[in-house]
Chain A
Amino acid sequence: MSHPTVAEKLGALKVTPITPHEQRCLALVSRGAYEIALQRTADILDEGYEIFMRSSRSSMGVAGDSIVAMFNAHGDLVNASAGTYLHAIIPPIVIKYILKKYRDNPGIDDGDIFYTNDALYGGIHNPDQVAIMPVFFRGELVAWTAALSHTTETGACEPGGMPLSATSRFEEGMNLPPMKIGRNFRINNDIIELFAAFGIRAEANVTVDLKARCTTADRVRLRLVEMCEREGADFVTGLFRRMLIEAESGARKRLSTWPDGVYRCVTFSDAAGLTRGLIRNCAMTVTKHGDRLTIDFTGTSPENLSSYNAHPQAVVGHLANYIYEYVFHDLPVSSATFAPLDFIFPEASCLSPTPRAATSNSVMICTGAMSAIANCISRARFPSEEWQQTTASMGNGGNAPVIAGTSQWNMSFADMIAYTINTEGQGARCTCDGMDAYGFPWCAFGRAPDVESMENEFPMIVPFSQHWPDSGGHGRFRGGCGTVQFWGAHHVPLVFFMSIADNSSIQTPQPLFGGYAPPTVPGLCIEDTKITTLLATLGDKTLDFHALVRGEFGVLTTEPFGRATRPIEGDKTIAVLMSTGGAGYGDPLDRDPLSVQKDLLAGLCSPWSAREIYKVAWDAGLARVDLAATDAMRAEARRARLARGRPYAEFEAEWLTRRPPADILGLYGAWPDGQPLAPAFRP
């Protein structure tokens, strides 16, 4: 077996021990020179990130769902500019594999370009692809560079690179193990043809994004060569090692201020691809001891015969999304910041499947890990002096719409509607609400494209886009609201559409400290309605979420948000899209009534929620809250809680006798511990 084992992949995340040469090089890096050079690495990477976005073609690349990174000669990540932090976990595994396997054949030479997108070899999922270049200076390998991004087409059994119907890796299109795709600073033409062949549905996206990755990796390489010319290769070697030392020191110092203990969270989802069923998509136990964290996923549901599985390094990547955004936000994106973290993955689980598993929707099954890590770390961190940085989980819905077909420019396309996924609400913070339409939990710094840009790029019209009221989880501080849009095919007869999700019957994120989660997300369409006719006949009606759900624009059909590929005919169907809100924080009865009033006036909170959840007396005629009446309502609500609440032991004894209906437990594993009931067979 050639592909790396789980142990080898997780081992590659650890920093390579310092060599005697690096020890000597450290002495060349004075404190002042270190500060200047550290900033220089960030500037180089920011330049690369900007070039990357401007050079990319697919919507995810243009939105900045990417990372640009530099590594020492061993392949340890020393700094990155992102984008999407999950990509940071991948290249060290790949570079160390290349160093181990390819040094003699095909060799590692100046001007080489390596490439991979195979999660079995260390990737996230095959739409996420990486170009890697060695950095040579005067014949010596001194560093590596990489550029990673998501391209929404891989030639799989469905368009968009994340096929819901794939049951094994053999249905997921292009999966390239680490391979040399270019020499002497040029991509081989036969490789470009290979990409074009797999990318027939969206050739421009696939081939241009390939070149964008290589261009970006080479620009960072060039800047590092210039740094070597100016400062000396030994200085750069010493700088990189000091960056690793400082990053690890900073990470350990931060963790050490939290109380030791064990922090747990379980999360669930409602589908694996097109198969519906309850999944414990993450059972997380975080043990914090001294300056170390051990993150154990024992109890997570078994692997399944869909693409909703994730190889362990992809799971770690999803933890990185939260950890770099909230915990190590002021430290370099570095292998060293993850040095104090260890991981335990149960074999044959959906977070550590067998090699034949489909994993192109790893990002969906990992919504549980993303949510649970926010919950566990917030519990560990709140007692510390960093308490103000604790948050409830993002919604982590990832309700991703994919469209494909032939555009109004007569070009084949397959892409994701990045506007929707880039406008999820943020999880509530412990001092204020989460931001509304904050962004994409996978890509904190991604840019939601303008709707007008989408309409120019794709054969669609999007006349309606607004905040989704009540979509943030309720609480003393509420989760940020997500958004709702609808669209129809325009300029063409039809557009193929599929959407990816697993939160229509049960939502994944757990709330924090007495708040509530966001609502579930149905898959909606308005049937027998042509969008241009709707707009022409709108009259005095306002395009509004409440009017939409009242059916004022046409009869709504409802199904799970995750849907297989189907045509959206321009004269028949309007598709509704939604991005989730964030989870809530704290007791809703502690919410400032004037904050509820503000939300009511902004249309972010419904009168029903104001009355039933927040127990706020809202006078719609006067457009203000009655504070005295609110106090009385809240006092009554607390009395009602005391009346209905039961002692824990009594409640638990009855509760544990129950179980969900058998027909939804087919994906769960044994009840309730999630152990595999049978091996997953794939031909």
Chain B
Amino acid sequence: MSERLKTAENLLLDLTAERWICERCEHDLGCARDNVKRGLLVAERDPREIHPPLIDGEFTFAPNPDWVRILEFYCPGCGTQIETEYLPPGHPITWTTQIDIDALKRRLASGELTIEHGHLKAGTP
């Protein structure tokens, strides 16, 4: 049984070590019981750097930077962009994925679930 679960594009959960791992470079991204974003580098982007204004005026196809900023979260090992979040300036950053590690381990141990090719599959308890 593999001990690694693919939980997002470029993000692995090592169940044995209970660590987040970058799939691209194997960099350790921190404790899997914690918000993975805490193990990533963060950069704030003016939304106009990603969605450029195409016309003059207040409404330009670009989000207004007073209303929203783009937070980019990178793997510190390889610079892969693991997450992004569009937030008003100063809005708390979201803990988006909080997997119940203990429940998952119990279900894997009982055979209710197995991991095949990095993904959970219903087993035969």
**A137 contacts the other chain (CB 8 A):** no
Q: Which residue of A lies closest to B104 (CB)?
A: A259
Q: How far is the CA of A515 from the CA of B50 in the complex (A)?
A: 11
Q: How far is the CB of B116 from chain A (nearest CB, A)?
A: 7
Q: How far is the CA of A672 from the CA of B89 in the complex (A)?
A: 10
Q: How far is the CB of B92 from chain A (nearest CB, A)?
A: 6
The interface residues of chain B lying within 8 Å CB-to-CB of A649 are 38
Among A504, A556, A659, residue most surrounded by chain B Cβ atoms (within 10 Å): A504
A263 in complex: contacting residue of B6, B78, B97, B121, CB < 8 Å: B97
Q: From A26-34, A304-312, A582-590, give the one contacting chain B.
A: A582-590
**B82 contacts the other chain (CB 8 A):** yes
Q: How far is the CA of A512 from the CA of B96 in the complex (A)?
A: 11
Number of interface residues of A (CB under 8 A): 83
The interface residues of chain A lying within 8 Å CB-to-CB of B82 are 513-514, 587
Contact between chains at A523 and B59 (CB < 8 Å): yes
B:99-122 near A, CB below 8 Å: 99-100, 103-104, 113, 116, 119-122
Q: How far is the CA of A506 from the CA of B87 in the complex (A)?
A: 9
Contact between chains at B89 and A659 (CB < 8 Å): yes
Main SS of the interface on chain A? mixed
Contact between chains at B42 and A513 (CB < 8 Å): no
Contact between chains at A513 and B80 (CB < 8 Å): no
The interface residues of chain B lying within 8 Å CB-to-CB of A384 are 119-121
The interface residues of chain A lying within 8 Å CB-to-CB of B73 are 514
**A652 contacts the other chain (CB 8 A):** yes
Q: How far is the CB of A184 from chain B (nearest CB, A)?
A: 53
The interface residues of chain A lying within 8 Å CB-to-CB of B58 are 558-559
Q: Which residue of A lies closest to B9 (CB)?
A: A513
Contact between chains at A522 and B66 (CB < 8 Å): no
Contact between chains at B120 and A257 (CB < 8 Å): yes
Q: From A241-249, A394-402, A453-461, A637-645, give the one contacting chain B.
A: A637-645
**A268-B80 contact in complex given A522-B60, A641-B74, C-beta closer than 8 Å:** no
B:67-99 near A, CB below 8 Å: 67-68, 70, 72-74, 76, 78-99
The interface residues of chain B lying within 8 Å CB-to-CB of A289 are 100, 103
A:641-679 near B, CB below 8 Å: 641-642, 644-649, 651-652, 655-661, 664, 672
The interface residues of chain A lying within 8 Å CB-to-CB of B92 are 656, 672
Contact between chains at B97 and A379 (CB < 8 Å): yes
The interface residues of chain A lying within 8 Å CB-to-CB of B42 are 645-648, 651-652
A:268-291 near B, CB below 8 Å: 268, 270, 278, 289
**Chain A to chain B contacts (Cβ below 8 Å), 10 pairs:** A261-B98, A385-B116, A474-B50, A506-B86, A513-B9, A513-B11, A522-B61, A551-B55, A560-B59, A655-B89
Would you list the 10 A-B pairs with minimal beta carbon distance, nearest first? A645-B41, A638-B79, A658-B90, A522-B59, A558-B57, A513-B9, A514-B81, A260-B100, A261-B99, A587-B81
**A102 contacts the other chain (CB 8 A):** no
**A608 contacts the other chain (CB 8 A):** yes
The interface residues of chain B lying within 8 Å CB-to-CB of A638 are 78-80
**A511 contacts the other chain (CB 8 A):** yes
Interface string of A465-479 (1 = CB under 8 A from B): 000000000101000
Q: How far is the CA of A672 from the CA of B97 in the complex (A)?
A: 21
Q: How far is the CA of A261 from the CA of B82 in the complex (A)?
A: 20
A:484-512 near B, CB below 8 Å: 504-507, 510-512
Contact between chains at B80 and A514 (CB < 8 Å): yes
Q: How far is the CB of A550 from chain B (nearest CB, A)?
A: 9
Q: How far is the CA of A560 from the CA of B58 in the complex (A)?
A: 9
Q: How far is the CA of A474 from the CA of B38 in the complex (A)?
A: 24
Q: How far is the CA of A383 from the CA of B119 in the complex (A)?
A: 5
Q: How far is the CA of A652 from the CA of B113 in the complex (A)?
A: 37
**A520 contacts the other chain (CB 8 A):** yes
Interface string of A168-196 (1 = CB under 8 A from B): 00000000000000000000000000000
Contact between chains at B67 and A514 (CB < 8 Å): no
**A519 contacts the other chain (CB 8 A):** yes
**A198 contacts the other chain (CB 8 A):** no
A266 in complex: contacting residue of B7, B52, B78, B91, CB < 8 Å: B91
